[in-house]
Amino acid sequence: MELVHIRPDAGADDPHLSRAAERLRAGGLVAFPTETVYGLGAHALDEAAVARIYAAKGRPAHNPVIVHVADAQAARSVVAEWTPHAELLARCFWPGPLTLVLPKGACVPASVVAGLEKVGVRVPAHPLALALLRAARVPVAAPSANRSNEVSPTTAMHVVESLGSADVLVLDGGACSVGIESTVIDVSGPGPVLLRPGGVARDELERVLGVPVARASEVAGDTPRAAPGMLGKHYATRASLVLAPHGDAGALRARLSKASAAQPPAALVFEASARELGEAARILVMPLDPRLYARRLYAALRELDARAPALIVVESPPPGVEWDALRDRLSRAAASADDSAR
């Protein structure tokens, strides 16, 4: 592992950037910032390079990897079909936190898509990610740069903590601005299907497409019910994580009381509840704004987890579609804690 700091406006003439691009072309791994989370990148058309991603993450072979490209033109080169819905969404949201799932192009190795017929493709908005993709001149497969099932990294230090022993060049471009992963939408057929909520909200997608976007869980038949890697354990903290209802200090206190005095609990709550809890736990206060909350969430979970609390109690977000992606990540983190307790 090697960590280099790099200017956010670095261009092809930056020595770190050109070295990183060269490393990607040669089949090596490069971790880089995107606006959502840090990605662990490899040459998407080089099977041996893609295998290094799976090995470094300990990622199961059935979980496909998103292909990152510099623009929509490059996206077309990795898909077999570019649909009208893909065109609409790419025009509105790229570069940005949206992954389009489309029929896979013949050039994409089966290992990138875990043997599926479709590929996820995204143009990230972070200037460094775009500069790296342009300099590399190859599509870059990149999952989040963490060990499989861990909380995603939103800083370069998180990447080092997660993947410290792997042979990776890490570009440190500061903290990620969105903070949770991209929205994943299947736009291969007539009816778009939301596979993972994320940086772009479902109502924004519907406004642009002019048709309803089904949630994966609402789609019957043999369409996969969610993005394949989203099933089961994910986004796990080491400590078990439990959710408490929004705005209910009594319920928070009841959950916190389950921890022992020797190993105090930790809590992630909104300000009103923090005032009511007083000294009951090690508390981190979260903003009542979904964008700011997302930007801070993964770092907050890592910070609490590092104190090895008996458990982490998280106050659920308030109702409202703008909190959908956050509710999704938090409920998966809670479910993961259940899984690992078994």
DSSP letter (8 states) at residue 29 = E
Among residues 96, 120, 179, 290, which is the contact residue for ligand TXA, using CB under 6 A? 120
Least distance CB 170 / ligand TXA (angstroms): 13
Backbone angles phi, psi at 105, to 5 degrees: -75, 155
Q: Among 10, 140, 144, 243, which residue sits at the site for ligand TXA (rule: CB under 6 A)?
A: 144
Rounded Cα distance between 162 and 35, Å, is: 19
The candidate with the shortest Cα–Cα distance to 100, out of 128, 114, 81, is 81
33 binds ligand TXA (CB under 6 A): no
Question: What are the angstrom distances between the C-alpha of 163 and each of 18, 111, 331?
Answer: 23, 21, 25
Among 105, 143, 173, 179, binds ligand TXA (CB under 6 A): 143
Residue from 170, 187, 227, 239 in contact with ligand TXA (CB under 6 A): 227
Work out how close the CB of 193 gets to ligand TXA at its nearest, in angstroms, rounded to a whole number.
10
- Which residues lie near Mg ion (CB under 5 A)? 144
Tell me the window of 202-210, 221-229, 236-244, 325-333 that interacts with ligand TXA (CB under 6 A): 221-229
Residue count, binding to ligand TXA (CB under 6 A): 30
Cβ-based nearer residue to Mg ion, 36 or 144? 144
Question: Considering the complex, what minimum distance in angstroms separates the CB of residue 7 from ligand TXA?
Answer: 20
At 236, give phi and psi (nearest 5°): -80, 135
Cis? peptide before 33, omega within 30° of 0: no
Q: How far is the CB of 322 from ligand TXA (least distance, A)?
A: 18
Query: Could you say which residues in the range 228-257 bind ligand TXA, by CB under 6 A?
Result: 228-230
Contact (Cβ atoms closer than 8 angstroms) between residue 264 and residue 250:
no
What is the rounded CA–CA span in Å between residue 280 and residue 152?
Answer: 28
Question: Which residues have C-beta within 8 Å of that of residue 198, sequence separation ≥ 6?
Answer: 36, 97, 98, 99, 180, 181, 182, 183, 184, 325
Residue 182 touches ligand TXA, criterion: CB under 6 A = yes
What would the DSSP string read from start to end of 80-117?
A: S---HHHHHHHHHH-SSSEEEEEEBPTTS-TTTTTT-S
Smallest gap from Cβ 22 to ligand TXA, in A, equals 21
Q: Assess 101 for contact with ligand TXA (CB under 6 A).
A: yes
For strand 193-196 and strand 214-215, is the pairing parallel, antiparallel, or unpaired? parallel
Q: If you search the block for the tokens 């990605």, which residue do you land on?
A: 39
Footprint of ligand TXA on 58-87 (CB under 6 A): 63-66
Minimum distance between the CB of residue 338 and ligand TXA, rounded to whole angstroms? 19
Please report how close the Cβ of residue 221 comes to ligand TXA at its closest, in angstroms: 16
Cα separation, 245 vs 234, whole angstroms: 21
Give the one residue of 4, 92, 116, 138 binding ligand TXA; rule: CB under 6 A.
116
Residues of this chain that bind ligand TXA (CB under 6 A): 34, 36-37, 39, 63-66, 97, 99, 101, 113, 116, 118-120, 122, 124, 142-144, 181-182, 184, 195-196, 227-230
